[in-house]
Amino acid sequence: MLSYELIHPDLLRALAAAGHGSRILLADANYPHSTGAHPAAARVHLNLRPGLVTVEQVLEVLLDAVPLESAAVMVPGGVPGDVVAADEAIPVHAVYRAALGDGVAWETMDRFAFYAAARGDDVALVVATGEQRVYANLLLTIGVRQAEGVI
């Protein structure tokens, strides 16, 4: 038995196979999980019911499991009539930024740019969640694990 916060076998397997520069898509319940990511990406379905499991809950566990260098979120835009909103206009983004801290680069993308990035061949893992908040998708890039004692 693992004495570690992350114990989901499929998540552990996918993370172990990923490396520096690989991306993880934490997708909300409205995201097209089967068509909105690279076909070779591992898919883990944690969307038990609406609101369970949330992207925030998955992020909390991942932060302890892998180093992250950057994060990207989807914002309105890319569709005629859409207005690109300020980051602060989407409350869940502030939650993610607080959890990630200052050491993780932050990027916003309009809907179609986000979909294109999520379909990239560097996406190693898609986690389908039951997240109900709007624009709650989060695309994470795995960083480098620092050797102990190295400054």
Catalytic residues: 20
Whether 14 contacts 42, CB under 8 Å:
yes
| Residues β-bridged to residue 25 | 126, 139
Q: Of the candidates 117, 151, 150, 111, which has an alpha carbon nearest to the alpha carbon of residue 134?
A: 111
